[in-house]
Amino acid sequence: MPCRAVRQVRRRLGRRGHFLLILGVGKTAWGAGFLIDPPAPEGLRLLTHWASLHHWAWLWITCGIITTTSAFLRVGRDWAGFVAALIPPTVWAIAYTAAVASGTYSRGIYVAIWYLTSHVGVIVWASTVPEHSVPHVPRSARKGREP
């Protein structure tokens, strides 16, 4: 019975849902890490000017919960999860870029590029991936012959 339930959940999630679930859990955990053991605010002066890192942690957690919840929605209705997943890394990339521009954190350019490529870029790419994209099988392969 448990295997059947797992299969149903996996089928319900699909490829996009699996991605959103992994991303949502990760963002929620990242935010929890900011609450439990906040890092040094180097490079985040733009953010800490407006609120403490504890408050910004809730941005990660809230967006992570929205992303996780969206994993269980149908394709086309899961857009909120992709938007929510984009918000925290975009905000962090802007903060690190501002730190570089102001001269307060020169290493911030590398962190900003990392957020923009490995987070924002991957999320934007994944949002365009269709749920089911099966490659066309040549007619000869369908009849059991070599192509």
Poorest-pLDDT segment among 46-55, 78-87, 134-143: 134-143
pTM of the model: 0.81
Domain count for the chain, please give it.
Answer: 1
SS3 126: helix
The alpha carbon of 124 is separated from its chain's Cα centroid by a whole number of angstroms, namely: 9
pLDDT at 60 over 70: yes
Residue 98: which domain range?
Answer: 21-129
Does residue 33 lie within any of the structural domains? yes
Q: Residue 6 is encoded by which pair of tokens?
A: 């797992």
Q: Provide mean pLDDT across the span 12-23.
A: 88
Would you say residue 60 lies in a domain? yes
Residue 10 within a domain = no
Task: Give residue-wise pLDDT tens across range 25-47.
Answer: 999 999 999 999 988 888 888 89
Q: Furthest-apart CA pair in the chain: how many Å?
A: 67
**CA gap 131, 129 in Å, rounded:** 6
- Examine residue 47 and state whether it is found in any structural domain, yes or no: yes
Whether 35 is covered by a domain: the verdict is yes
- Which two three-digit tokens encode residue 3? 């295997």
Q: Which residues contact 107 (CB under 8 A, 6 or more apart)?
A: 43
Residue 20 has pLDDT above 80, yes or no: yes
- CA–CA separation, 28 and 25 (whole Å): 5
pLDDT for the residue numbered 16: 87
Taking the CA atoms of 51, 56, 57 and 58 in sequence, report the sign of the dihedral they define: positive
Q: Is residue 137 part of a domain?
A: no
Rounded alpha-carbon distances, angstroms, from residue 129 to 63, 71, 115: 21, 14, 20
Inside any domain, residue 94? yes
Asked if the structure places residue 138 within a domain, the reply is no
State the pLDDT confidence band at 4, using cuts at 50, 70 and 90. Answer: confident
Residue 4: both structure tokens together: 């059947």
